[in-house]
Structure 1
Amino acid sequence: MQYSIEVNNQVEIYDLNKVAKQAAGAVLLRVKNTVVLATVAREDKPVEEDFLPLTVQYLEKAYAAGKIPGGYVKRETKPGEFETLTSRIIDRSLRPLFPKGYAYPTQIVVMVLSADPEVDLQVVSLNAASAALYLSDIPIKAPVCGVRVGRIEDKWVLNPTNSELEESTLDLYVAGVKDELLMIEMRAIASKKDNTSAIVAIDPIIADAMFCSPQSMNELCEDEVVEAIKFASEAILRGSRAYEEAFAPHKKPSANFELKSEVENERIASYLREFYLSEIKDAINQMAKSERASELNAIAKKVASDESAINEEWSEEEISKVLSKVKKEIVRAQIINEGRRADGRALDEVRPISIETNLLPNAHGSCLFTRGQTQALVVATLGTDGDAQLSDSLTSKSAIVERFMFNYNFPGFSVGEASPLKAPGRRELGHGNLAKRALAPSIDESNPYTIRLVSEILESNGSSSMASVCGGALALRAAGVETLELVAGVAMGLVFEGDKHAVLTDIMGLEDHDGDMDFKVAGPRGGITALQMDIKLGGISLEVLKEALEQARKGREHILNLMQIADSEIAVNEDVLPKLELFSVDPSKIVDIIGQAGKTIKEIIERFGVSVDLDREKGEVKISGDDRKGVDGAKSYIIELTSKGGDRGAKRFNDKRERAPKPIFNVGDEIDGTVKSVVDFGAFIEIAAGVDGLLHISKIRSPLAVGDKVRVVVAEQKGNKISLNLA
């Protein structure tokens, strides 16, 4: 059976009961020339643990874009970053729909079978997955609707095409059910219409590969964010109602599920409340994270040894489960009724912050950002265009080039666990992507470097991703990158109890675990560059959202004041920063720089110990290296080379060098030299003022560093080229 639904600026064609009929639910969705298959499967036996065992997999097939996978293995392998992040978005949007106490292993799979370059794969995939879940025998009350909102020429655009999104200054992705919002992802981006100096990343989730214009970061103020979300919520209401009307007659009857109760043994809960309430409160309110967990375990052991527990045959494991629920009740009641948090802070108070910059002497830039018991060491590395990240996309014919990367690592020791180190999972990729979206607009378009930020989480008790944003902003400044403004991030929490609610600033792990919302907001003083919201149960109204945004603004300003002080005290590691020159030549002369079969550019690289990147269309030349003398020499050589063209320019440059007075060396002369630069094929040794010789890697006995003194022997001299051996 086929349904065509025209809603939210696109026509969606759903095929029901056509494919994958043995799954609990399945739909085939087509939008333009994009076709996705979404399936839902579940097990009949619940897990014993107290959690929702939901797995979401979004998979892209290369044939969907008429491509064959690259590399030696000609088939799809592990999911790429875009696939992983899209899986996470679908999971976060659908997880709140499941009934409370549902514990049956459930898998949602979305496969892209055909990809239209203009269709937003994330919006289509979420709506397909939601329809499949709603049609299954799992008791879901209403289907989710996902939409994307852009802003083009100061107008909101609903579900823009990928081409339109390139012109947008906003990328807002919102999912919800009817009038309730469940998930929000937002990033402020620079208009790409007049920006031709960078390569566009078409996949929306991949944070901007381009840097914004010097005039503005294009951040949105809180009122603009609320207005955009309101625009999205109206579209969600239309979409959710349209889906329910179309699919309700075909929804399978709900299976007979056994749902776990909030408190599995009310007798234990009553016993704890009556005899151990004060001890539980002391453990919550008077202890640090690790001490709190140990004390709660000790209480569980103590209760298990009580006569009542022995007579009732309560196991320690059962007592611990109920104790966790009672602890949650106490935490929430204190916040709602007393306005008091476990660590004694006011609801809008940020934990103590300390900042140290450039503590790593050989890194380009570093920042140790500590907030309460959360600590992030963020390190910046500057590179050239050749260091940019390349990735494939179904909606792009050419490779995506990212000149700004953010890697987030979360080792087990950061939370006191002896867990093995492994490849980053969905959480790590998601947090890194959020930090990248927050910081990308602050980097000036004229920045010539490829930038990699790495956040090593050394300690975690809530909001390590926002600590990574703050540390990342200062690590960029510590590396000498002239960002437009400092960017800070803060994590907000929300607790609902009946008709009461409380908004929490800078939540710690306990409040994240026991609260109802995780809401991360990042940006400079003037507004928001990135936002992420997840609701655990139910939805959130625009009024509460506006309250949370305003409280987040105040918290962000407090953090920015402290960051500003740290920024004023930064001492940049000038000695370790790469040297770079960016200039333009006549585009027609680029071929002279390259030379026949690349001979000329190879000679430049070897002779001066530099890297050279060329832009054929604009005639831009970018020279980088560790030694200022080599960079300046290469620049002068290229200017001479292109001023009169090809060999004549090079000859004129060499003639000038040869006319300069130089020491005369003979083969066999022993000289005390200084290492000027180290390259892949050896090291350049200064043997006299303005004269360098090459010590090939095959002649080097132990590692050399710039500035080392070495005694060398002249092995060969051809014109200006001198080959050396170690003495």
Structure 2
Amino acid sequence: MPVNVITLHQENLVEKYTLDLIAKQSSGALWYQNGGTVIVASVAVDEKPVEEDFLPLTVQYIEKSYAVGKFPGGFIKREGKPGEFETLTSRLIDRTLRPIFPKGYTYPTQITIMVLSYDKKSDLQVCALNAAANALYISSLPFFQAVCAVRIGKIGNRFVLNPSPEEMAQSNLDLYVSGSNDDLLMIEMRSLAHSPNTEPTNAEPSAFDISENDLLEALSIAKKSIAKGCLQYQQAFDTHKLPPLDMAFNIPAENPDITAYIKEHFSEKISTAIAQMAKSERNLGLKKIATEVFTSYGEAQGWDLKAILRAIEAQKVKIVREQILSSGIRSDGRGYTDIRPIDIQTNILPFAHGSVLFTRGQTQALVVSTIGSENDAQFQESLSDKGANKEKFMFHYNFPGFSVGEASPISSPNRRELGHGNLAKRALEASILEKSKTIRLVSEIMESNGSSSMASVCGGSLALCASGIPVRALVAGVAMGLVAEGEKYAVLSDINGLEDHDGDMDFKVAGSRNTITAMQMDTKLKGVSFEILEKCLFQAKNARNHILEIMEKARDEIVLNTDILPSMQAFNIHPNKIVEVIGQGGRVIKDIIERFKVSIDLDRENGGVKISGSNHNGVMEAKHFILNLIDSRADSDKYHIGEIFEGEVKKVLDFGVFVGLPKGGDGLLHISRFEKDKAPFIKEQIHDGDKIKCQILGFNKGKIELDLIKE
């Protein structure tokens, strides 16, 4: 079977593309290999276009468990619902390739990327995008554009192109960039707080510091690498494109009479509708105008209502963009750099650990924090992991239909919700100093008119503070927009929904005053120039600092829900002593958990002990009890067998009574020490705080056993 094998050398990548090997009935497919990683990418196209005016593109990135010799996790041993990494990678590829499809393309198109073998060294997201882009390039679709992806890390002061997993473990930057020739199509960036081998402290902020200049330098390196990669792809694949399909692009023809009539008679009403900033109100206003045009004049002229709606939409877009570029005034009356009014309310939910209602203009996010122990961590499993990983920081973003006035049911999170939640998580993760607790942030979008994900970042940073979690610095997020016509362009700070819809770019930046923690860029253009990126970054910094001033004032006024905040103590004992804490059949640890109302996590290997509970005093008492329990030598020095004393009852349980000792620590007065006929009624006879006379019977593995002295 004749096949074509093409080997290309990128930075730290040796990519081998095998053509004409698999999926020959698809519209384009290839077999991709980098090291021991093998990926199949295919493109399938339906012959019949959809009637609606949108691009019906679907991207599915799928990881097969057999790629690393594993069975799928869970009860059913078959791949099912995609994992979070698969969903986010699918979005990454979709957001890169969508802009290169021509206007009017309405044929249902499916791009499938399957990981068949994984060497645990390759960057799956870089490999997957390159494979998908080149499968699209050689496909039978009647358009093509070379696309390349790279990842940039930063170790010390050195930028690393397509770093290995070992290098990424030392990097404080994770920058993923895709582009075509000299243009950048999509950017994902996050700062990494520290090396995994280093425990962060307040005195160690350097890994948190990714500045605008650092990012621009990294983007410059990425741009050069992408241009070089695209040139290689063009030279390698130009002669291997499949014969193009005969496709008609669905670009609705404009009726010049409708356009002229609307412009002359209804421009003012359209401008008034634009000023209705709520999406539902604006759409309703435009539909009313269309109905008025149709009934008053259009029906007699034989105009179609859909054609009128299209003409009104086109006029609306034109008015919005011309107003911005010509007069410097945006649809809501703001200038290019103005931020919408901000209101912040903290800890408005009495029984949540932390809560913040963050409102910016007509965008409102209620972000709620919940603090837990290691037992509350989310288990995640992926191809690159030896086993399930514990995810101790979670950010869940929910976008109910009512937030934009839509009557839609609430269902499981979609790709957009997962993507926005992941962006907010990446923005905040580097700022968290507390690594021992499990933290869950949930952003409930109450109202949305532009960048609810960035409102979630702002609310999330304050929600951490509102639940007593220490952070390196507050983190704010802002969405930047772009309107470009020819050489003329305007960069907009804090875009609203209309500017997002009718503009050319959505550029989200999150960070502290002088650092960037996360960034995401999507564009409707064929690419964005470096000049525009630079202007966006520094304009976003000014916007971010304005928001942070307001957030800092809100942080100073936070009143913690102290009574319900969980407490945790982490300490180490000698690993050999762990068995004493557990006790025979787990009896001792069960007694401690029941007595002090706490959760306890033990690490047999290093002797780690983590105690958590909803009551701070109970946690501290449990800690002291464990320390006293294992310190048998010290107890023997402090007390002697036969010693009689009067102690205070600390806790009455079914199996006995814990009594406070005069020189510190507790002793156990077992139920067997009571008379048989009185033992069943121990809780009726003795109460917490009572004084009783006891005698020390002996020491058993650090536990002091007592006898009751009868009066």
TM-score by length of 1: 0.87
Matches within 5 A, 1:222-371: 222-261=212-251, 264-285=254-275, 288-307=278-297, 309-371=298-360
Q: Deviations over 1:571-602 (max 9, x none)?
A: 01100101222222223322332334544323
Residue 383 (structure 1) aligns with: 372
What secondary structure does 2:227 align onto?
helix
Q: Does 282-291 or 420-429 show the bigger shift?
A: 282-291
Structure 2 CA distance for partners of 1:666 and 1:49, relative to 1, 3 Å: closer
Distance in 2, matches of 1:24 and 1:91, equals 18
Matched letter for residue 351 of structure 2:
N
Partner Cα separation in structure 2 for residue 391 and residue 355 of structure 1: 34
- 1:685 & 1:194 partners in 2: Cα distance? 54
Identity %: 53
- 1:274 is displaced (CA, Å) by 2.3
- Ranges in structure 1 where 5+ consecutive residues have no aligned partner: 198-209, 668-683, 693-718, 722-727
Q: How does 1:645-656 map to 2 (within 5 A)?
A: none
Q: Specify the alignment match of 2:647 in structure 1.
A: 660
Contact kept in structure 2, 1:640 and 1:653, CA below 8 Å: no
**Matching residue of 1:91:** 94
1:665–1:226 Cα change, 3 Å: closer
Is 2:175 the partner of 1:172?
yes
The alignment partner of 2:293 has SS state of: helix
Residue 263 of structure 1 contacts residue 325 of structure 1 at CA under 8 Å; is this kept in 2?
A: no
TM-superposed deviation, 1:663: 9.8
Change (3 A) 1:48 1:23: same
CA distance in structure 1 between the aligned counterparts of 2:604 and 2:252, rounded to whole angstroms: 65
Query: C-alpha separation between the residues in 1 aligned to 2:644 and 2:443?
Result: 46
Alpha carbons of structure 1 residues 213 and 598: separation in structure 2 relative to 1, 3 Å: farther
Give the whole-Å Cα distance in 1 for the aligned partners of 2:168 and 2:549.
34
Shift of 1:655: 11
The residue number in structure 2 matching 1:128 is 131
1:403 pairs with 2:392: yes
Amino acid at match of 1:184: I
Distance apart, 1:506 and its partner CA: 0.4
**2:464 matched to 1:464?**
no
Change (3 A) 1:172 1:662: closer
Other-structure match for 2:431: 442
Note if 1:529 corresponds to 2:529: no
Structure 2 regions of 5+ residues with no counterpart?
A: 655-682, 692-704
Alpha-carbon distance, 1:218 to partner:
1.4
Deviations 1:668-698 (A, max 9, x none): xxxxxxxxxxxxxxxx999844479xxxxxx
What amino acid is the match of 1:554?
N
Q: Does 1:636 align with 2:624?
A: yes
Change (3 A) 1:550 1:629: closer
Is the 1:493–1:516 Cα contact (8 Å) retained in structure 2?
A: yes
The TM-score, its normalising length taken from structure 2, stands at: 0.89
Aligned counterpart, 2:185: 182
The offset of 1:617, in angstroms, is 4.0
Contact 1:168 1:190 in 2 (8 A): no
Q: Is the 8 A contact 1:190 1:213 kept in 2?
A: no
Q: Identify the residue that residue 482 of structure 1 maps to in structure 2.
A: 470
Displacement of 1:60 in angstroms is 0.6
Is contact 1:411–1:421 with CA below 8 Å preserved after alignment? yes
Equivalent position SS for 1:138: coil
Residue number in structure 1 paired with 2:67: 64
The offset of 1:323, in angstroms, is: 1.4
- Counterpart AA for 1:231: I
- Secondary structure at the counterpart of residue 208 of structure 2: coil
Question: Tell me, what secondary structure is at the counterpart of 2:563?
Answer: helix
Residues 653 and 5 of structure 1, relative CA distance in 2, 3 Å threshold: farther
Cα 1:6–1:313 shift into 2, 3 Å: same
Distance (whole Å) between structure 1 residues aligned to residue 684 and residue 150 of structure 2: 60
Answer yes or no: is the 8 Å Cα contact 1:579–1:631 preserved in 2. Answer: yes
CA distance in 2 between partners of 1:194 and 1:361 (Å): 38
Task: Determine which of 384, 409, 419 is the counterpart of 1:430.
Answer: 419
Q: 2: CA distance between counterparts of 1:598 and 1:110?
A: 49
Q: Separation in 2 of the partners of 1:580 and 1:423? A: 32
Q: Are the aligned partners of 2:193 and 2:429 in contact in 1 as well (CA < 8 Å)?
A: no
SS at match of 1:191: coil
Kindly provide the amino acid, as one letter, of the partner of residue 362 in structure 1: F
* Counterpart residue identity of residue 628, structure 2: E
Q: 1:137 to 1:265 in 2, by over 3 A?
A: farther
From 563, 580, 588, the counterpart of 2:551: 563
CA deviations 1:299-352 (Å, max 9, x no partner) are 000011133x12332232331122112211111111111111100000111000
Structure 2: how far apart are the matches of 1:266 and 1:157?
54
The offset of 1:469, in angstroms, is: 0.3
**Would the aligned equivalents of 1:637 and 1:653 in 2 still touch at CA under 8 Å?**
no
Q: Which residue of 2 aligns with 1:699?
A: none
Quote the Cα distance in structure 2 between the aligned partners of 1:460 and 1:471. 14
1:19 corresponds to: 22
Question: How far is 1:455 from its partner?
Answer: 0.2
Greater CA drift, 131-140 or 625-634: 625-634
Distance 1:372 1:336 in 2: 22
Residues 280 and 631 of structure 1, relative CA distance in 2, 3 Å threshold: same
Aligned partners of 1:256, 1:78: CA distance in 2, in Å? 35
State how far apart, in whole Å, the 1-side matches of 2:423 and 2:685 are. 46
Q: Distance in 2 between matches of 1:56 and 1:162?
A: 26
2:160 maps to 157
Alignment correspondent of 1:576: 564
Query: CA separation in 1, counterparts of 2:685 and 2:535?
Result: 64
Give the CA deviation at 1:665: 9.2
Is the deviation greater in 55-64 or in 592-601? 592-601
AA in 2 matched with 1:399:
A
Which structure has the greater CA radius of gyration? Answer: 2
Maintained 8 Å contact 2:194/2:207: no
Partner SS, residue 442 of structure 1? coil
Equivalent-residue separation in structure 2 for 1:165 and 1:628 (angstroms): 39
Aligned residue type for 2:205 = Q
Letter in 2 for 1:255: L
1:329, 1:337 → 2: CA distance? 11
Q: Give the Cα–Cα distance (whole angstroms) in 2 for the partners of residues 656 and 135 of structure 1.
A: 89
Secondary structure of the corresponding residue to residue 275 of structure 1:
helix
What are the residue-to-residue correspondences of 1:558-707 with 2, within 5 Å? Answer: 558-644=546-632, 660-662=647-649, 688-690=687-689
Tell me, yes or no, if the aligned pair for 2:176 and 2:189 is still in contact at 8 Å.
yes
| SS state at 2:287 partner | helix
Residue 349 of structure 1 aligns to a residue whose secondary structure is: coil
Name the CA distance, whole Å, in 2 between partners of 1:286 and 1:514. 15
Q: In structure 2, which of residues 36, 39, 44 is the aligned counterpart of residue 36 of structure 1?
A: 39
1:18 aligned counterpart, secondary structure: coil
Residue 544 in structure 1 maps to residue 532 in structure 2 = yes
* TM-aligned CA deviation for residue 620 of structure 1: 2.5
Quote the offset at 1:402 in angstroms: 1.1
Cα separation, partners in 2 of 1:5 and 1:70, compared to 1, 3 Å: same
Deviations 1:390-424, CA, capped at 9 Å, x for gaps: 11010111212111100000000000011011000
Q: CA RMSD in A?
A: 2.7
